[in-house]
Each structure stands twice: as structure tokens, then as C-alpha cells.
Amino acid sequence: MKNFYRFFFHTPFYKIVLVAVSGCYINNASAFRNTTTNDTTPVSTQKDAIFFIENIKNLKSSPYWPHVKPDLFLKNLKENIYTPLSIYEGSNTNFCGYAALSYFPLHDDPLGYAKFMLELFEKGKADFGKVLIQPSPEIMQAAGTLKFKGLLDIRPADQIWFLCLADHFKGYINFFNRHYDAGDENTFWASVNYAKFNRMVKKLFNYAITARGFDLMHPHIFDLYEYIIAKMKTGTVVLYLNNADLYKKKHNTVRPAIPTHFVILLDIIKTEDMITITYWDYGFRSLRQITSAFFKKIVFGISCCTKKISHE
């Protein structure tokens, strides 16, 4: 299967297939715009979560997670609650989509996140939003053993979180590699396509999502800056970007124009032809000044995630 997958992705043929498939998902993403607001987005405060987590004194080892030490797990949960921006997907993994969506529970419902993680640790399965997360035995064995990923090495709760999400949610991009094998955190098994990202945010955290974008094409927005500014007034904006341009890693003349990275946009300012963006990724906030043309070149998707309020 892996040989086939290698062959498939090393020939231009795959782009045609992906365009066809992504088209279906784009329609899917746009369907989120009409989400009804009968139900509400669960919210809690950091104070609630701190009170809850600080009252847990003794956490016993879990038979479901043999390689996760309970003290490290609890320490990791506390770090995420006290400093939600420090969650880190690990170096050279494909967990950036899951790290980006972690922004929502850690900021808007940290208590819900903490309760979910503790239940998952103790019972081996737990509900988050509308989703029952029940990881496969391979995931339970792998959590706590990921190494050489920087800070992620010593954060077992984040390993559980990312691995469980990647194990549960599948998009077309995971079609050829659906089951976890050691090292798959760096492969298409862990990848997140645009529609999958929007679906995860909607199902897990019950946000209303307005999504504009594609997996292989730029969205047709006349004034990208004005559009983003308008969206930032209504909710949290996630950008789907071409990472090969954002963080150049090679000097190749020909680089694939494919988005592979999700960031949370925190601020955007335009002065003449320059755009200054402040965004969160890799466990840190970054500020960068780029030209409007470059910004347009790297943006493939804009998702605006808005909390649902009952009396709307």
C-alpha cells in the first residue's frame, strides 16, 4: 500500500485526482455557513480549569496508556491551561492542524478540555462535543513514546491529544494511510486537509464556521485584507497557508503551490503595500511583515470560527 501511495504522490496524476476530490470537500466546507444556532458552544474560563486541575492531587497510572507517566501527564495539562499558547505540535510532524484547533478549547473551554483529557486518560475513551474519541490500541501504545520532536518529547498529554485526533478524523488526504504505524506522525496519516479541519472544529467544539478556500487553489476574494478584517470582527480566524513559502526550507526554483499549514491569525495591519501579520503556530506568536502579493500567494483558506450563543 505504501509503495502505491509513494507512486501516486510522485506523479502529476495525483493533482488531478485531488482537485476532483477537494471540490467535494469545498462544497462540504461551504455548507457550514448555514449552520443553525440552536445549540451553543460550550465555554468556561481559565479560572474554572485551574480550580479543577489544581484539585487533582494523585493521578494513578492508566492501563490504557502504558507509556504515559501520570505526573508528566498532569504537568502537561497544567502547562496547557496556564499557558495555552505553548502547545507545540513537535518538529517535523504533520500535527499542525490539530495544534491550531487546540487554540479553541484552550482559550474558550479549558475546563471542558481538562475534563476530556482526564477521562480519556483514565477510561481510554471520552466524549468531546459530538464526538466519541476511542483510540486504537496502536495509538495507546505510541502515546508517550514519540521522540526527537523537541518539546513534544516531554509532553505526553499533547501526544495523546494529537494522536487521538489524527486517529479519529479522516479526510481524503489520509485515504492511503489510515492506520497508524510507528513514524506516521510525519506522514500523510497525520495530515489535515481544509475540509477536515473545518469539520473537526465544528464537531468537537460546536463553532459556526464560515470557510472560504480550497486545498489546491486560492480562494477568489477581491480584497483579501478587507475580507479578513471583517471576519476577525466576528470570530477567530484560521489561515490555511503554503508552508513551503512561509517557512522556506529549500532553495528549489520550482516549489509546489500546496497549502500544508494552519495558523491562528491574531492581528493584521496593512500599510501601503505591506501587510503585517501576527499569528500563532509552533507554540509561539510570530509577527511578520510581507507584501500584499506574497500574502495572497500563500493564503489558500480562511476559516472564521464563531462561538454559537443561545439567544442569537
Partner 1 sequence: MVFRVAQRKYLMSKKNSIVILFCITPFLYACTPTTNILKYYLQNQKILDSIQQSYKEQYRQRPFSIQFTDRSFTNVSIEIFTDTLKYIYEFAKSEDRMKDTLLKYHLSVPGINKLIVQMASIHCTWINNLDYYVKGKKEYLVFMSIRPKSVNFPFTNKKYYILTYFLQPQYYDADGRLLDRRYRKKIRKINEDVFKRITDKVAYTISDRFR
Q: Which residues bind partner 1 (CB under 8 A)?
A: 72, 91-92, 147-148, 150-151, 153-154, 186, 247-252, 254, 278, 284-289
Give me the least distance between CB of 282 and partner 1, in Å please: 9
Helix (H) or strand (E) holding 69: none
Whose CA is closest to 164, among 194, 202, 195, 204? 204
Give me the least distance between CB of 106 and partner 1, in Å please: 17
Give me the least distance between CB of 237 and partner 1, in Å please: 18
DSSP states of 34-67? G---SS------HHHHHHHHHT-------TT-TT
Nearer to partner 1, 254 or 293 (CB): 254
Nearer to partner 1, 69 or 178 (CB): 69
Residues 138 and 183: beta-carbon distance below 8 Å: no
Percent helix / strand / coil, the chain, rounded to 5: 45, 20, 35
Give me the least distance between CB of 294 and partner 1, in Å please: 10
Alpha-carbon distance 11 to 180, whole Å?
Answer: 24
Nearer to partner 1, 4 or 148 (CB): 148
Give me the least distance between CB of 12 and partner 1, in Å please: 12
Alpha-carbon distance 139 to 148, whole Å?
Answer: 18
Give me the least distance between CB of 42 and partner 1, in Å please: 29
Residues 167 and 241: beta-carbon distance below 8 Å: no
For 274, list phi and psi in degrees, rounded to 5: -100, 145
Nearer to partner 1, 77 or 195 (CB): 77
Residue 45 pairs in a beta bridge with: none
Give me the least distance between CB of 275 and partner 1, in Å please: 13
Residues 99 and 261: beta-carbon distance below 8 Å: no
Give me the least distance between CB of 251 and partner 1, in Å please: 5
Nearer to partner 1, 178 or 248 (CB): 248
Cα dist from 287 to 124, 147, 243, 265, whole Å: 39, 29, 16, 10
Nearer to partner 1, 7 or 175 (CB): 7
Nearer to partner 1, 150 or 219 (CB): 150
Alpha-carbon distance 13 to 175, whole Å?
Answer: 16
Nearer to partner 1, 109 or 185 (CB): 185
